[in-house]
Structure 1
Amino acid sequence: MFGHPQFQTGFTELDDLSASAYGHAVQLGCFDRAAIISVLKLDEPEVDRIEQVLLRMRLLQPRPGDPSVLVPVSPDVAAADLVGPTEHQIRDLMQAVTDVRGKLLSLTPLYFEGRRLRNRFEAFDVITDVDAIQNVLNRLGQTCRKEVLTVQPGGARPSSLLPAARKSAEGMLERGVRMHTIYQHTARGDLATKAYVRDVTALGAEIRTADEVIDRMLIYDRETVFLPVRTCEGGESAGAAIVREPTLVAFLCAVFQHLWDSATPFACDTPKATPATDELKQSILRLMAQGYKDEMVARRLGMSVRTCRRHISEITEELEATSRFQAGYNVAMAGLLGKGPAASAAEWQQPSPPRP
């Protein structure tokens, strides 16, 4: 540890005889070899060894003007002479350590900023160019190996997009890729969407519907997720966020599974989609009971405001109500909101209380 060679070896040799010889030298005022031999009963080789030990420990030093005479010095002077250079070296090293640590720690903000940017680049990509988004979607659709999970809000899909969607779905299904898609209940009434669903389910896709869903979401092989870009105010802007961070991807997959478990299978060949109609009415009633206006109800259920108002009109007529307030009262009295999404159509015709 210490660089001074005499400090490295002298201390281990400071035995009792050397200490006793030092004490006699202090009494005599010098290191008198003959006196020490006589008092301590030592021989010449032993006195030579003791003298070398005391010199290395700086407890004996030559007398100024007469180097042949060795005189004892106080332990604190000897200590300062022996360890002083080492202490100075330690102070220099400590200062160097402090300087190095300070310079390295000054890079901490730069490091975390770089990590933040790197994590963002590795975990997220935000693409605003529509053509670039489509190119990435096409590539992932072609390279997908196991599974595609999709949430499509907004009711019926635009008919102009269905041919390309059908072609992409057919290619993946023919390769053995599983497809699970969630629409909103309002998609069941669209003929083009029903035709698309009929075609892809015949190839093995599974389609379900729910009253409300989260934002549009596409998950490829539980590794890559597409999400719409949102502004700070919650509005949607042009672009897509591509998520690859494993923890966030796993969370989004769990969100999809939760939606899937509570959704209703999309059966195209049934003569009438009564369960979906009942569930849609339940959803409208629930949102009305929460105080949402017609526009917000329509937006959340993926339908036009005109269609939403037509359903509300039908519901109030079935409940024999003349206003939203009376409709809510009749619903509460009939307990319709407590019957769940599978309530039968007959339950919409519960007797209403007498009109005031």
Structure 2
Amino acid sequence: MFRNMGGGDMPTSDTKPTHPHGITELCAAGGNLYASALRSGRIARAEVAPAPCLMEFALLHPDPDDPEWLRPVPPSAALAQHLHPIEREIQERRRHSVELTESFEPFMDISAQDPPTTHAITVLEGVNRINAALDLATAECRTEVLTVQPGGGRSEDRLSEALERGMSVVDRGVSIRTLYQHTVRHSPGTLAYAERMADTHVEIRTLEELIERLIIFDRTVAFIPAQDDRQVALELRHPGLVEYLVKVFEQLWTRAAPLMEEVKYDPTPQGVSGVQRSIAQLLVEGHVDDSIARRLGMNVRTCRAHVAKLSAALGSSSRAQLGYLIARSGILESDS
């Protein structure tokens, strides 16, 4: 009985183990003996002892007329025998590839439609994915970047990173408009950054209070945070949503003051400054110190100092009384 390659019977104790090679790496002894058997039509079984691989690969079979002799299997028959499982596997893989192609063909037709479909809202989870999406949008930007950056002064590392990214954009002729809060006017690092960008296509303005972080590229794609910790962001490509955010930005921009120009506050008759009026408005709305500080881009200690000055200006002896005196004083009406 013939034994297939790699799948024959285990050798008995009185037979030599098969050579550790495949049919495509036939050993020299096996090649010479097989060639000799083909020339003479048969070969003595004893001669084959140095090359047991010939029986392992079914290149020889017993002579039906004499058990002491072996006859060679024609090369064409041996080749066909070894190619058959390979060709069968190839055919199976081809059939599988055809089935896969047919399964995905309907979806390929959809994706080939003109204009191509885009994701109106994409959720970006994790800082790495958010930064990758921002880097791609920055690289693809051709005309304009609009940004809203709430909070106070930035660290030196963040400003250096912003400077490098900003220069790479404006060097391509892209304009940048950025909105900060008034508190950055007391940040030497931010002011130095603004001076470096003064002769470029970059404009910076400030407001007392801003919305959450917002970045818009070419008025076609916008990014906003989805969580307070800013570990999840939304990439918006719906034309209606992006256009709405552009209008919000333009309204804030119109009300904002250029960073390098002095902001003039008109104090009330009670001596309440513009910052304190903003704090008064948030106090009346029920915000606590932490919330007010976050919204106005200042630290909590500064916020509480302004609350203390506001209380002194209005003659308040308690936090509860302060709310009443704010409403009674009319300082919020004078802010309108």
Q: Which interval holds the TM-score relative to the shorter structure?
A: 0.5 to 0.7
1:153–1:216 Cα contact (<8 Å) kept: yes
1:322-333 correspondence runs (5 A): 322-328=317-323, 330-332=325-327
User: Please, which of 292, 295, 298 is the counterpart of residue 290 of structure 2?
Assistant: 295
Unmatched runs of 5 consecutive residues or more in structure 1? 1-113, 342-356
Q: 1:317/1:125 Cα in 2 relative to 1: closer, same or farther (>3 Å)?
A: same
Give distance in 1, aligned partners of 2:148 and 2:239. 19
How far residue 135 of structure 1 moved from its aligned partner, in angstroms, is: 2.8
Q: Deviations over 1:30-70 (max 9, x none)?
A: xxxxxxxxxxxxxxxxxxxxxxxxxxxxxxxxxxxxxxxxx
Task: Please give the TM-score of this superposition, normalised by the length of structure 2.
Answer: 0.57
User: Please, which of 235, 240, 261 is the counterpart of residue 242 of structure 1?
Assistant: 235
Tell me the residue number matched to 1:335: 330
Q: Deviations over 1:277-327 (max 9, x none)?
A: 943222111111223221221122222211210111122234444333554
Q: Does 1:187 align with 2:184?
A: yes
Tell me the residue number matched to 1:124: 121
User: Please, which of 266, 280, 285 is the counterpart of residue 280 of structure 2?
Assistant: 285
1:68-217 correspondence runs (5 A): 122-217=119-214
Q: Deviations over 1:81-124 (max 9, x none)?
A: xxxxxxxxxxxxxxxxxxxxxxxxxxxxxxxxx99xxx996212
Give distance in 2, aligned partners of 1:304 and 1:152. 16
Unmatched runs of 5 consecutive residues or more in structure 2? 1-109, 268-272
Give distance in 1, aligned partners of 2:276 and 2:190. 21
How far residue 329 of structure 1 moved from its aligned partner, in angstroms, is: 5.1
User: Counterpart amino acid of 2:285?
Assistant: Q
Tell me the residue number matched to 1:6: none
Q: 1:331/1:160 Cα in 2 relative to 1: closer, same or farther (>3 Å)?
A: same
How far residue 152 of structure 1 moved from its aligned partner, in angstroms, is: 0.8
Partner SS, residue 119 of structure 2: helix
Tell me the residue number matched to 2:219: 222
Moved over 6 A (4+): none
Highest Rg: 1 or 2? 1
User: Counterpart amino acid of 1:127?
Assistant: L
How far residue 150 of structure 1 moved from its aligned partner, in angstroms, is: 0.4
1:186–1:280 Cα contact (<8 Å) kept: no
2:266–2:274 Cα contact (<8 Å) kept: yes
User: Counterpart amino acid of 1:267?
Assistant: M
> Which moved further from structure 2: 207-216 or 273-282?
273-282
Tell me the residue number matched to 2:255: 262
Task: Please give the TM-score of this superposition, normalised by the length of structure 1.
Answer: 0.54
Aligned residue-pair number: 219
Give distance in 1, aligned partners of 2:328 and 2:117. 53
1:185–1:280 Cα contact (<8 Å) kept: no
- RMSD (Å), alpha carbons: 3.0
2:223–2:236 Cα contact (<8 Å) kept: yes
Identity of aligned residues (%): 37
2:138–2:169 Cα contact (<8 Å) kept: yes
Tell me the residue number matched to 1:275: 265
